[in-house]
C-alpha cells in the first residue's frame, strides 16, 4: 500500500506571475511572504508515513523525492521507536521504498526530504 503524506500539500506554491501584466506590488508581497515562511522554518519538505502491515516494504510517494534525495525518518510512535529506522531504497521521481520488519503493528514516522 502506498503512503502519500497528508502534509505534502501543506501550502501550494504561489503561481508564477507574468511580471509584465501583473501588479509588481503583488509580486513583492508573494516573495516577501515566501521568504518569511522559509526563515520561520516552514519549508514544506516533510510529511508522515505509516508502514504497511504484514509487509517488509512500504512505498512512500511524495513529489519532492528524487533519485538524489535524502529522506530522514523520525519515529512518532512507541512501536516505531522500538523497531528502529527503516532504510530507503528505490528512490525515483516522486517515490521511494522503505525497507522494514514485517509485522502487524502500526508504526508511524515523520519524514523530511532534502535535495532533489
CA proximity to 48, closest of 80, 13, 21, 24: 80
The 8-class DSSP code of residue 96 comes to E
CB 86 within 8 A of CB 45: no
CA proximity to 116, closest of 65, 43, 46, 42: 65
**116 residues of the chain, pLDDT tens digit each:** 555 554 444 456 666 656 545 778 888 888 899 899 999 988 889 999 999 999 999 999 999 999 999 999 999 999 999 998 999 999 999 999 999 999 998 899 999 999 87
C-alpha distances out from residue 75 to 51, 78, 99, 107, 108, Å: 11, 8, 14, 8, 6
The 8-class DSSP code of residue 55 comes to -
- What is the distance between the alpha carbons of residues 9 and 79, in angstroms, rounded to a whole number? 27
Amino acid at each position: 500500500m502506498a503512503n502519500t503524506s497528508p502534509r505534502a500539500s501543506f501550502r501550494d506554491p504561489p503561481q508564477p506571475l507574468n511580471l509584465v501584466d501583473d501588479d509588481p506590488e503583488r509580486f513583492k508581497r508573494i516573495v516577501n511572504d515566501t521568504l518569511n515562511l522559509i526563515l520561520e522554518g516552514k519549508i514544506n519538505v516533510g510529511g508522515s508515513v505509516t508502514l504497511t502491515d504484514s509487509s517488509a516494504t512500504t512505498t512512500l510517494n511524495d513529489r519532492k523525492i528524487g533519485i538524489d534525495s535524502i529522506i530522514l525518518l523520525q519515529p512518532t510512535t512507541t512501536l516505531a521507536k522500538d523497531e528502529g529506522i527503516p532504510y530507503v531504497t528505490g528512490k525515483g521521481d516522486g517515490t521511494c521504498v522503505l525497507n522494514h520488519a514485517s509485522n502487524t503493528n502500526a508504526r508511524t514516522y515523520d519524514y523530511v526530504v532534502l535535495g532533489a
